[in-house]
Amino acid sequence: MKKQYKLLASLALVGLLVIPDSYIIAGNPDRVGQAGATELLINPWARSSGWAGSNIAGTRGLESMFSNVAGTAFTKKTELIFARTQWLKGTDININAFGLTQHVGETGALGLAIMSMRFGDIPITTTDVPEGGLGTYSPQFLNATLSYAKGFSDNIYGGIAVKVITEKIANISARGVALDAGIQYVTGKHEQLKFGIALQNWGPRMKYSGDGLGFKTPVPASTSSQTMTVEQRSEQFELPTVLSIGGGYDFYVKKDSASMKMHRVTAMGTFTSCAFDKNQYKLGLEYAWKNMLMLRVGYTFQKGLSKNIDYSSLSSSSSLTSALKGPSAGFTFEIPFGKNKSTFGIDYSYRATNTFGGTHSIGARVNL
C-alpha cells in the first residue's frame, strides 16, 4: 500500500510539472503587467506572510489555502481565522479575510476562505467634469476558495482548491475560476524534513463586461439629433499562474527527550516560477518556544526588488515590477484553553515596500 501511495505522489508531482500550459514553465519578465486578477498573488494571512511565502513545504492548517493547499490536511478538528491587512499603508487599501477548515473522515479536511479587497470611495470624474463632484464609486475584489486535502500516508499529503474570482465597480465586472493544487512530503523521526510543490491560479481567461463599456454617439449621416449606443469590446486577460517548489527542516535543541519540542528553529526555502513576472527565491526562518511564541523572518530575492528606487526619475525602462522590497517579519502568540487542547492565537506580519508605509497584517485564530 505504501508503494502505491509513493507512486501516486510521484505521478502527481510529475503531472504538476508538465501541465500543458507554457505559462508556468519559467518566469517571463517581458510579460509583466499582461495578467489580470493580480490580487490572487496577495497573501491575506498574517502568519504565513511573515515567512515571505517561503514555507510552502511546511505550511499547516487554514493558511495553507493560499500557499500550498496540501497543508490543510493537517487540520486536527476545526480552525477559524479572521485577518485584516493594511495593504501599502497610506493608500487606504484594506483586505479582510475569513476562513474555516474542518477535519473530515480519517485524514481529510474541507476548507472555505473568503478574501475581500476594498479601495475606499473614489471620486467619479469625466472628461467634462475632471474635478469630480459627481459622487463616488468603490471597486470591490472578492475571492472565494473551496478546498479539500487528504493525507495519503504518514508522509504524503495532497490537496486541491477551486477559486471563484469577482472584480467589479458600479457598471463593469469580471468573473473567473481558478484551480490550485499542491503536495507535501514529510519524513524523518520527528517529521522534521519537508518538501512541497504547489500550482496556483491556473484557469481560463477572464473578461470584463457591463454597461460601463458602452457610450452614446450621434447616428452617422442623420439629419436629426438621434443617438445610438456603441458597446466597446473588452480584451480577455490571463490569470497570474505561479508554480512553487520548496523544502524545509526543523532543528530541535534537544533530541529524543521530553523537552525536545520546547525550542524549535525551522529553516525554509522556496523557488517560485511566475508566468507573468520575474522568478523569485524565498528564504524564511522561524523560532518557536513550546509552539506558544513564534518569531519569524523572511526575504524574497527577485531581480531589481531590493534596489532603492528614485520615483522622480522612473521610466519605461525601469526594472521595478513590484511594490514589495524583499524583507518581511512577524510573530505569533498562541495559548491553549479548555479540556480539548484548543488554542487561541494572535498573528502579526510586516512586509517592507519600496514606497508608502509597508504592509501590515494582523489575524486572530481559533483551533477547536
- Pairing verdict, β 208-209 and 324-337: unpaired
Instruction: Of 146, 144, 148, 168, give the one whose Cα is nearest residue 158.
Output: 148
pLDDT value at residue 161? 98
CATH number of 2-200+243-367: 2.40.160.40
pLDDT of residue 319: 63
Percent of the chain at pLDDT exceeding 70: 84
Which DSSP string do the residues of 58-127 spell out, in sequence order? T--STTHHHH-GGGGGG--SEEEEEEEEEETTTS-EEEEEEEEEEEETTTEEEEEEEEEEE---EE---S
181 and 203 Cβ atoms separated by less than 8 Å = no
Choice among 174-178, 316-320, 324-328, 331-335 with the minimum mean pLDDT = 316-320
pLDDT (average), residues 125-152: 90
Which pLDDT does position 255 carry in this prediction? 59
Instruction: State the pLDDT at residue 24.
Output: 42
Question: Which range is least confidently modeled, 74-88, 116-130, 275-289, 322-336?
Answer: 116-130
DSSP state of 234: -
Average pLDDT, the chain: 86
- For the stretch 209-220, pLDDT in tens is 988 888 777 877
User: What pLDDT, on a 0 to 100 scale, did the predictor assign at position 147?
Assistant: 98
In three-state secondary structure terms, 203 is: coil
Q: DSSP letter string over 253-296? A: SSSSSTTTTSEEEEEEEEEEEETTS--EEEEEEEEEETTTEEEE
Characterise 44 by phi-psi region: left (phi > 0), alpha (psi -120 to 50), beta (else): alpha
CA angle (39, 161, 138) in 5-degree steps? 30
Sequence-ordered list of residues with C-beta below 8 angstroms from that of 200, at least 6 positions apart, any chain: 40, 178, 180, 241, 242, 243, 244
Position with higher pLDDT, 246 vs 315: 246
What is the rounded CA–CA span in Å between residue 134 and residue 207?
27
Q: Return the pLDDT at 23.
A: 40
Residue 211 Cα distances to 25, 234, 296, angstroms: 38, 12, 47
Asked if 153 contacts 180 with a C-beta cutoff of 8 angstroms, the reply is no
Rounded-to-integer distance, Cα 81 and Cα 344, Å: 10
What length is written for the chain? Answer: 368
- Residue 316, pLDDT above cutoff 50: no
Residues of the chain with pLDDT > 90, as a percent, come to 59
pLDDT tens-digit series, residues 144-160: 999 999 999 999 999 99
Would the pLDDT of 227 be above 70?
Answer: yes
Question: What would the pLDDT profile of 286-312 be if each residue is shown by its tens digit?
Answer: 999 988 999 999 999 987 765 655 555
pTM of the model: 0.85
